[in-house]
Amino acid sequence: MIKRTLFFGNPAYLSTRNEQLVVNFPEEAKEEKTIAIEDIGYLVLENQQITVTNGLLMKLIQNKTAVLTCDQQHMPCGFLQPLVGHTEQTERMRHQLNASLPLKKQLWQQTVTAKIENQANHLLHRKKNALKLKRWAKEVKSGDNENHEAYAAAYYFQNLFDIDGFSRNQKGLAPNNLLNYGYAILRAVTARALCSSGLLPSLGIFHRNKYNAFCLADDIMEPYRPFVDALVYDIVETGCQLQELNTHLKKELLALPAIDVFIDGNQSPLMNAMSRTTNSLYECFEGSNRKVLYPEF
């Protein structure tokens, strides 16, 4: 089932009644609106004057809805996750914690290979040269000790956008702002799926920064990044202004969880594909599978 993504950029009072999200706009002459909580996958709260009742938060968490809060720059900065995301959570976390270093290196090799392949296919889709990326994807070794992931990313962004002097930098010129926003949404999608699969988002297979609570999410989202890039590329091609991340641009990027991707021979909404990816990751930790299932661009 495709879950809905709701975005609130204006002051609002959010509560619950009869298993519904109830929305009231105190500063606008709008009638009360209701939405079934079971249909909500992502709730993005941007405005600083949004009030949310504890009863609603409880029901959203029970529904495994990802609640994202935004900072003063309107970028997602927080993610509310359930304490219990899976009925076998303790057992699944034990397998994750006991994963050997060789296994983690093999999983990172698969992840980097899938990411570079998807970057190459995105370039080919845009009628751009991807021979280097195709070659590098085949040369990735266990643990990616030769750092093909970084070389591929640098080459990919140098050749993706037809913008003079563009480089990928979080604080760089547009469309870096769009990429930042899209990746933040993707990170929340990944963290939500990991929790639902009973895994710890903070314990990565490659990323291991002690200040990062989402190391595993940052690992697993890597092959999905080109789908964000594709959305941003299409926006850039429209010729619209990119300096200000307005509501229209956010709406385009918030469609990410519902876009179709190709995984395991079938089309699937990205949010559902991510759940298949995280479940296959658990199977690798548990020992019943040896390959993480990633989408193909």
Q: Which domain CATH number covers 55? A: 3.100.10.20
Print the domain residue range for 45: 4-80
**pLDDT score of 3 more than 70:** yes
CA dihedral 49, 85, 59, 47 (to 10 degrees): 10
Q: Which tens digit of pLDDT belongs to each residue from 124-134? A: 999 999 999 99
Residue 207 in marked binding region: yes
User: Same structural domain for residues 223 and 100?
Assistant: yes
Show the 3-state SS of 141-155: CHHHCCCHHHHHHHH
**Domain boundary pick from 80, 100, 119:** 80
Q: Could you tell me which residue, 77 or 186, shows the higher pLDDT?
A: 186
Q: What is the pLDDT of residue 73?
A: 79
CB of 155 within 8 A of CB of 132?
A: yes
* Across 68-72, average pLDDT: 85
**Domain boundary pick from 46, 80, 114:** 80
Q: How far apart are CA 172 and CA 198, in angstroms?
A: 36
Confidence grade of residue 85 (pLDDT, cut at 50, 70, 90): low
* Across 251-255, average pLDDT: 92
Does residue 292 form part of some domain? no
In the beta sheet, which residues pair with residue 16? 21
Residue 28 in marked binding region: no
* Across 228-233, average pLDDT: 96
Q: Which tens digit of pLDDT belongs to each residue from 197-215? A: 999 999 999 988 887 888 9
Half-sphere exposure of 106 (CA within 13 A, CB side): 12
Backbone φ and ψ of 128, nearest 5°: -120, 160
For 267, the 3-state DSSP assignment is: strand
For 260, the 3-state DSSP assignment is: strand
Does residue 291 form part of some domain? no
Q: Could you tell me which residue, 170 or 108, shows the higher pLDDT?
A: 108
Q: What is the pLDDT of residue 237?
A: 92
CB of 173 within 8 A of CB of 179?
A: no
User: Same structural domain for residues 105 and 137?
Assistant: yes
One-letter identity of residue 243: Q
User: Same structural domain for residues 136 and 227?
Assistant: yes
Q: Could you tell me which residue, 2 or 55, shows the higher pLDDT?
A: 55
- Give the rounded distance of the alpha carbon of 239 from its chain centre: 25
* pTM (predicted TM-score): 0.89
Does residue 43 form part of some domain? yes
User: Same structural domain for residues 259 and 117?
Assistant: yes
User: Same structural domain for residues 109 and 217?
Assistant: yes
User: Same structural domain for residues 261 and 148?
Assistant: yes
User: Same structural domain for residues 103 and 125?
Assistant: yes
Q: What is the pLDDT of residue 80?
A: 83
Q: How far apart are CA 168 and CA 186, in angstroms?
A: 17
* Across 113-122, average pLDDT: 97
Number of domains in the chain: 2
Q: How many CB atoms lie within 10 A of CB 162?
A: 11
CB of 31 within 8 A of CB of 16?
A: no
**Domain boundary pick from 31, 58, 80:** 80
User: Same structural domain for residues 154 and 282?
Assistant: yes
Residue 149 in marked binding region: yes
User: Same structural domain for residues 144 and 93?
Assistant: yes
Confidence grade of residue 38 (pLDDT, cut at 50, 70, 90): very high
Which range of 36-50, 118-132, 234-248 scores highest in mean pLDDT? It is 118-132
Q: How far apart are CA 147 and CA 86, in angstroms?
A: 34
Confidence grade of residue 82 (pLDDT, cut at 50, 70, 90): confident
**pLDDT score of 104 more than 80:** yes
Which domain CATH number covers 208? Answer: 1.20.120.920
Is the previous residue joined to 175 through a cis bond, with omega within 30 degrees of 0? yes
**pLDDT score of 28 more than 80:** no
Q: What is the pLDDT of residue 72?
A: 82
Q: Look at residues 84, 105, 115 and name the one whose alpha carbon lies nearest to residue 284.
A: 105
User: Same structural domain for residues 52 and 115?
Assistant: no
Half-sphere exposure of 26 (CA within 13 A, CB side): 8
